[in-house]
């Protein structure tokens, strides 16, 4: 399968093709979704990208999911598991009568094989692999996961849609799956790279019967087709939305908010306290393996200016250091005295202490998320004032996803994450993640946090973990931001989830 980036001609061709398809198909029950680029894989096990999660959750499912309150709910499992008193055994019932898109019927053997693959190739699965003693079928429709030690985030990991514990037919499993087969309400129809991914109703889908609640409960298959159209340029996403070509557009620049508000056909959708921009640090190789240089980086960054450049209006962002925003259980101020120092002189002294020799600081970023690039531009000036030599590597999002897997190619890459209900869902804390952040004290805290089941004790441990983020400069949280999307006013049932889904969407008549 080929994945390439849009040139101007390619983008125009894609938009023209998408427009023709859209005009013809809206009456037949099709929604056209503008996303920031190609999903570079249809196998959500092997990716933590939001664009992959958004697309694949429509045709690939997991044992569990999250409801609207971020509570864990069963999806392919019959119910929540039976957990032994010592926390070492999870017995999971598997729904009977669930069919894969290839016509085969899901059973415990498919689940076992899929979960074993997850522990071998998925970043989140690998993070828990050494805690799992065995995964076995304990009946035709029952699976038992036995643990070496208690691991409190296990169900959250099994429910998450990126680096997902996806369930596939065991016959297709391999290190790389060429043709993804799932159980979801939609299946892959046609994929024209750089133009669209067409998903069509899966006639054999068996929905849960509970009322819809977030991603949990009933999935209605309300529209016949869903088309995801990669549109890397944010202004093109806006214009396509306002012209009526797209029904929904993701990741819009904040300066378009008033235009969307003033439209007769489009409404803005603002997800407040959506997430946080991330400066991911390479702890495996290169400049950032020196802690003193990491401290210089942290000291130099002008957080206020970076966020203002990225989002423009304070209704779209907050200068906020803790890993969780106000109102979340995990909120703590531990370590945040090191946040937003904006002190280039201090950074310069730290660079002298480190014996910095002018080696370029390589920042890997993309303009498909425009706020990533804007933050990097402002930061570059401050870092150069502090004495860094800065080299910007600006690529498309798919290329960034490839390059960040090679620690020889970058020192910083810029990404972002929604706020997640369980710290263990944030892979940046784990040594097994591509950043490779590891030190004995942090690793011990993380292990204890994930073994502990008492919420108050876990909070104490998370406080220590957050202090490590700042003291060791494991990564840099830039602040909080609200995400802006746009949708047609005649489109009903669009979730406000960080990963929007469209199986329950209807169009007003």
Reduced to 3 states (helix: H, G, I; strand: E, B; else coil), residue 278 is: strand
50-80 pLDDT tens trace: 999 999 999 999 999 999 989 999 999 999 9
Cα–Cα distance measured from residue 113 to residue 168, given in angstroms and rounded to the nearest whole number:
8
Here the tokens at position 263 are 């439209």
Distance separating alpha carbons of residues 462 and 465, to the nearest angstrom? 5
Distance of CA 334 to the CA centre of its chain: 25
Average pLDDT, rounded, for the chain: 92
How confident is the model over 271-306, as pLDDT tens digits?
988 999 999 999 999 999 999 999 999 999 999 999
pLDDT per residue over 401-425, tens digit each? 999 999 999 999 999 999 999 999 9
Backbone angles phi, psi at 356, to 5 degrees: -60, 130
Give the mean pLDDT of 189-195: 94
Write out the DSSP string of 286-352. SGGGSHHHHHHHHHH--HHHHHHHHHSSGGGEE---SSS-TT-TT---TTGGGTT---HHHHHHHHH
The per-residue pLDDT for range 321-333, each reduced to its tens digit, is: 999 999 999 999 9
pLDDT surpassing 90 at residue 13: no
The span from the CA of 281 to the CA of 476, in Å, is 8
Q: How far apart are CA 30 and CA 37, in angstroms?
A: 20
Q: In angstroms, how far is CA 403 from the centroid of its own chain? A: 17
Residue 201: CB atoms within 10 Å: 18
**3 pLDDT above the threshold of 70:** no
Let me know: does 364 contact 404? Beta carbons within 8 Å.
Answer: yes
Domain at 272-482: CATH architecture: Roll (3.10)
Query: For residue 10, is pLDDT > 80?
Result: no
CA-CA distance, 27 to 473, in Å (whole number)? 53
- Confidence band of 497 (pLDDT split at 50, 70, 90): confident
Report the alpha-carbon distance of residue 116 to residue 126 in Å, rounded: 10
* Residues 126-173 pLDDT 10s: 989 999 999 999 999 999 999 999 999 999 999 999 999 999 999 999
Same fold, 60-183 and 272-482: no
Among the residue ranges 116-120, 136-140, 285-289, 309-313, the one predicted with the least confidence is 309-313
pLDDT of 507 strictly over 90: no
Domain boundaries, the chain: 60-183, 272-482
Q: What is the DSSP secondary-structure string of 13-48?
A: HHHHHHHHHHHHHGGGTEEEEEESS--S-S-GGG--
pLDDT given for residue 254 in this prediction = 87
pLDDT tens for each residue of 337-364: 999 999 999 999 999 999 999 999 999 9
Q: From 71, 68, 93, 56, select the one nearest 183 (Cα to Cα).
A: 56
Identify the band that residue 1 occupies on the pLDDT scale cut at 50, 70 and 90: very low
Report the distance separating Cα 350 and Cα 2, nearest Å: 45
Tell me which CATH homologous superfamily contains domain 60-183: Dipeptide-binding Protein; Domain 1 (3.90.76.10)
Rounded mean pLDDT, 371-386: 97
Give the number of other Cβ atoms within 10 Å of residue 27's Cβ: 8
**Residue 127 confidence (pLDDT):** 86
């Amino acid at each position: 399968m080929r994945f390439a980036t849009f040139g101007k001609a390619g983008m125009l061709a894609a938009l023209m093709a998408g427009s023709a398809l859209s005009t013809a198909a809206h009456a037949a029950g099709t929604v056209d979704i503008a996303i920031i680029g190609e999903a570079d894989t249809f196998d959500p096990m092997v990716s933590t990208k939001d664009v992959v999660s958004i697309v694949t959750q429509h045709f690939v499912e997991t044992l569990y999911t999250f409801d609207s309150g971020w509570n864990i709910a069963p999806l392919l499992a019959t119910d929540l598991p039976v957990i032994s008193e010592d926390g070492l055994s999870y017995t999971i019932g598997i729904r009977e009568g669930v069919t894969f898109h290839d016509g085969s019927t899901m059973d415990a053997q498919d689940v076992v094989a899929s979960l074993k693959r997850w522990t071998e190739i998925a970043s989140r699965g690998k993070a828990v692999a050494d805690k799992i003693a065995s995964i076995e079928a304990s009946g035709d429709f029952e699976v038992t996961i036995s643990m070496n030690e208690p691991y409190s985030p296990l169900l959250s990991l099994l429910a998450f849609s990126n680096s997902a514990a996806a369930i596939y037919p065991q016959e297709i499993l391999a290190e790389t799956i060429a043709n993804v087969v799932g159980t979801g309400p939609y299946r892959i129809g046609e994929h024209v790279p750089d133009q669209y991914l067409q998903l069509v109703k899966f006639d054999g889908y068996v929905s849960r019967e509970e009322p819809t609640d977030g991603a949990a409960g009933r999935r209605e298959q309300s529209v016949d087709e869903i088309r995801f159209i990669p549109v890397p340029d944010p202004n093109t996403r806006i214009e396509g939305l306002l012209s009526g070509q797209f029904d929904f557009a993701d990741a819009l620049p904040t300066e378009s908010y008033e235009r969307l508000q003033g439209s007769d056909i489009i409404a803005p959708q603002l997800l407040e306290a959506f997430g946080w921009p991330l400066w991911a640090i390479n702890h495996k190789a290169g400049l950032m393996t020196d802690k003193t240089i990491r401290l210089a980086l942290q000291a130099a960054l002008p957080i206020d200016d970076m966020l203002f450049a990225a989002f423009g209006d304070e209704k779209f962002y907050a200068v906020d250091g803790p890993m969780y925003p106000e109102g979340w259980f995990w909120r703590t101020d531990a370590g945040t005295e090191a946040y937003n120092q904006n002190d280039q002189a201090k950074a310069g002294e730290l660079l002298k202490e480190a014996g910095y020799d002018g080696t370029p600081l390589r920042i890997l970023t993309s303009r498909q998320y425009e706020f990533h690039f804007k933050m990097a531009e402002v930061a570059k000036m401050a870092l150069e004032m502090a004495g860094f030599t800065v080299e910007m590597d600006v690529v498309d999002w798919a290329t960034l996803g490839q390059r960040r897997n090679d620690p020889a190619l970058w020192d910083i890459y810029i990404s972002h994450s929604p706020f997640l209900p369980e710290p263990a869902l944030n892979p940046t804390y784990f040594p097994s993640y591509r950043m490779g952040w590891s030190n004995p004290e942090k690793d011990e805290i993380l292990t204890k946090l994930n073994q502990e089941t008492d919420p108050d004790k876990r909070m104490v441990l998370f406080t220590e973990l957050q202090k490590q983020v700042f003291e060791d400069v494991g990564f840099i949280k830039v602040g909080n931001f609200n995400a802006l999307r746009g949708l047609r006013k005649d489109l009903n049932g669009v979730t406000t989830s960080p990963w929007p889904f469209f199986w329950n969407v209807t169009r007003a008549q």
